[in-house]
Structure 1
Amino acid sequence: MPEGDTVWQAAKRLHEALAGKVLTRSDLRVPKFATADLTGRTVLDVTARGKHLLTRIEGGLTLHSHLRMDGSWKVFADGQRWVGGPAHQIRAILGNADRTAVGYRLPVLELLRTTEEIRAVGHLGPDLLGPDWNPDQALANLLADPARPLGEALLDQRNLAGIGNVYKCELCFLLGVTPWLPVGALPADRAAALPALAKKLLETNRDRLIRTTTGRRGQDLFVYGRAPRPCLRCQTSVRLADQGDGSRERPTYWCPGCQAGPAPSPAASRRTPRRTTN
């Protein structure tokens, strides 16, 4: 699933291509909204809210989309060949005289009244890249369930919005604890530093093509995608296991030398690492 910085970048591209311009083409390829016609309306703005995209359109309408694992929005110039997947994977087309935005494999696509956006994003916690960011509230949300593993709490968008699996792993490394450490066991000084650290990581990367948490070219991430290679700090082999609440397991990377706290046994965590260039 894309991280908050990736969705922020998508919103920026869509806003630059569509905002302030009249739609000359509109095609929503989902059954419930297939007959909706947005042509002749002006796109007011496109904004990210956590991992959600909100395209606000003249007449009090909002097109809400979510990329989940495989979705994407591509922007093409007039006459440019569309490259993003086969035609049957297209779920939305929004075009004007200069640019066309094409949504591929969008698992969530709905047209709603702008006044009802809360139905789509009202459950989200403070947005790390949004104007509603509130570090104190984000920390309070995380600490509300002290027995919950830190990694699961970070991925819960109701606590704070924008962290995905990559930042979960990298944040836990930078905090020096495993993703399985109960939130309530996080040392007070590290808990206090967590919101600012998370915001710094996403803000640093929101304008980057290649995400980095290390500042090292060619070694962009500390642990994510690096198993079983040596840790960049202590040379211990980075380990990989699944973590989840039962509804979805996510590949989770950590360094047993640098990160304190509970973790799966070596036998339980043995799995085939995914290919990566980081």
Structure 2
Amino acid sequence: MPEGDSVWRAARRLHAALAGETLTRSDLRVPRFATADLTGRRVLEVTPRGKHLLARIEGGLTLHSHLRMDGAWHVFAAGERWRGGPAYEIRAILGTADRTAVGYRLPVLELLRTTDEDRAVGHLGPDLLGPDWDPALAARNLLADPARPLGEALLDQRNLAGIGNIYKSELCFLAQVTPWTPVAEAPDPLRLAAAAHRLLDANKDRPRSTTGRPGPGLFVYGREHRPCLRCGTPVRRADQDGRPTYWCPRCQSGPAGDPAPNR
């Protein structure tokens, strides 16, 4: 599942390609909106909201998409060969005179009135990379269910919007507790929310890093059996709510998940 920083970059690419331009091609390949025709309308902006993408279009319309695990938007120049996957995986095409944006494997794609955007994103907590970011509100949201495991609470987009599985593991490492630690037993949620914002904001324009070292780098995510970058202890992995989760048994205190089978 993409993280908020990668969705922010996708929105920026789409905005640069489409905003201010008139659509000369429109093809929404989902049954409910297959007959919708957006040609002749100008794209006003493309903006992220947490992990959601909102393409606002002239006439009070918004094309809402969510990438989830496998979705992607690619932008191609006129005449350029499309290279995002086979044609049967295409769910949306938005073309202008110079650029074509093609959405592949989009599990969520809907056309709605811009005034109705809250139906799609109104449930989200404060956006880590948005103008509504409010660390105090995010901390209060996390503490609303103090017995909930911290990792699950961080992934709940109703608490704060933009954290995916990578940042969940990395933030728990930085807080020095395991993702199964109850929120009430974790360090200051306000500092944790501020750290989440700091990481996503820093990484939106660079290769993702949480270590503070030059270049890309993660402390624990994806490092099963490899040494923790802080203490050298082999990193462990277990599933949490169906998602692979990584932690260092020495640097992080608290309950641990059941190891993944055959690992």
TM-score range, shorter chain: over 0.9
- Whether the 8 Å contact between 2:147 and 2:183 is mirrored in structure 1 is yes
In the alignment, structure 1 residue 193 sits paired with structure 2 residue 183 = no
Quick one: which of 201, 206, 211 aligns to 1:214? Answer: 211
Aligned to 1:236: 233
Aligned to 2:259: 269
Please give the per-residue CA displacement for 1:175-217, whole angstroms capped at 9, x wherever unaligned: 1000000001113xx3231111000110011012x21111335
| 1:257 to partner: Cα distance | 0.3
- Whether the 8 Å contact between 2:239 and 2:260 is mirrored in structure 1 is no
Change in CA separation of 1:146 and 1:270 when aligned onto 2, cut-off 3 Å: same
Distance of 1:151 and 1:111 partners within structure 2: 32
Aligned to 2:33: 33
Secondary structure in structure 1 of the residue aligned to 2:17 = helix
Change in CA separation of 1:53 and 1:219 when aligned onto 2, cut-off 3 Å: closer
Secondary structure in structure 2 of the residue aligned to 1:111 = strand
Aligned to 1:256: 249
Distance of 1:228 and 1:73 partners within structure 2: 34
Aligned to 2:112: 112
**What do you get for the CA RMSD once the two structures are aligned?**
1.1
- Whether the 8 Å contact between 2:60 and 2:115 is mirrored in structure 1 is yes
Structure 1 spans left out of the alignment, 5+ residues: 274-278
- Whether the 8 Å contact between 2:4 and 2:50 is mirrored in structure 1 is yes
| 1:272 to partner: Cα distance | 5.8
Number of positions where the alignment pairs a residue of Structure 1 with one of Structure 2: 263
Please give the per-residue CA displacement for 1:74-110, whole angstroms capped at 9, x wherever unaligned: 0000011000000000000000001000000000000
Distance of 1:98 and 1:270 partners within structure 2: 48
- Structure 1 residues 144-159: aligned runs within 5 Å: 144-159=144-159
- Structure 1 residues 81-230: aligned runs within 5 Å: 81-187=81-187, 190-208=188-206, 210-217=207-214, 220-230=217-227
Change in CA separation of 1:112 and 1:219 when aligned onto 2, cut-off 3 Å: closer
- Whether the 8 Å contact between 2:138 and 2:159 is mirrored in structure 1 is yes
Q: TM-score, normalised by structure 2?
A: 0.98
Aligned to 1:12: 12
Secondary structure in structure 2 of the residue aligned to 1:198 = helix
4+ residue stretches of structure 1 with deviation over 3 A? 215-219, 270-273
| 1:72 to partner: Cα distance | 0.2
Change in CA separation of 1:73 and 1:27 when aligned onto 2, cut-off 3 Å: same
